[in-house]
Amino acid sequence: MKEDKCIFCRIANGEIPSATVYEDDQFRAILDMGPASKGHTLILPKEHFKDVCELKEAYASKVLSLGGRIGAAMKKSLGCSGFNLVQNNGESAGQTVFHFHLHVIPRYDGEAPIVTWKPGSPTQEELQETAKRIHAEL
């Protein structure tokens, strides 16, 4: 995706209007147009990075604390009791817009969890083997 055509580049840099929750020189945080819950926010870097693997350290070092600040503000302003930070990388992971973004999703009492999985049951040997394979590429 060329950066001049990327929808999140255009939103982050103010070319396309958005419901902006927060802005500084590096980030714009906007409300998601298809929210998982009321207040669902996306933190967008103003520079284009396809995913977390491309994200520059100057952004990576700040985005998590910004997610925490926005989540805390959601608890005060919207009355949610918790929030999920979700960040998808690649189609198989559910990424649909290929400009890095961190979801901040308010969770309200009584709602079912949104991030769930059926736990597998690997053996200790399988866990050790898998850990070794990942470690070898770090």
Binding site for ligand AMP (CB under 6 A): 7, 30, 32-34, 42, 88, 94-97
Give me 71's structure tokens: 């989540």
Active-site annotation holds for 101: yes
Q: What angle do CA 135, 136, 138 make, to 5 degrees?
A: 65
Binding mask 74-113 for Zn ion (x = CB under 5 A): -------------------------x--------------
Which position among 40, 101, 103, 135 bears the catalytic label?
101
Q: Where are the beta strands (DSSP E) in 18-124?
A: 20-23, 27-31, 41-45, 82-86, 102-107
**Residue 28 or residue 48: which is nearer to Zn ion going by CB?**
48
Residue 32 CB, nearest approach to Zn ion (Å):
16
Minimum CB distance to ligand AMP smaller for 37 or for 88: 88
Bridge partners, residue 85, by sequence = 104
Task: Find the shortest distance in angstroms from Cβ 59 to ligand AMP.
Answer: 17
Where do we find the tokens 């929030």? 83
Q: Would you call 129 exposed, middle or buried from its count of C-beta atoms within 10 A (0-12, 13-18, 19+)?
A: exposed
Binding site for Zn ion (CB under 5 A): 6, 8-9, 48, 99
Q: Active-site residue numbers?
A: 101
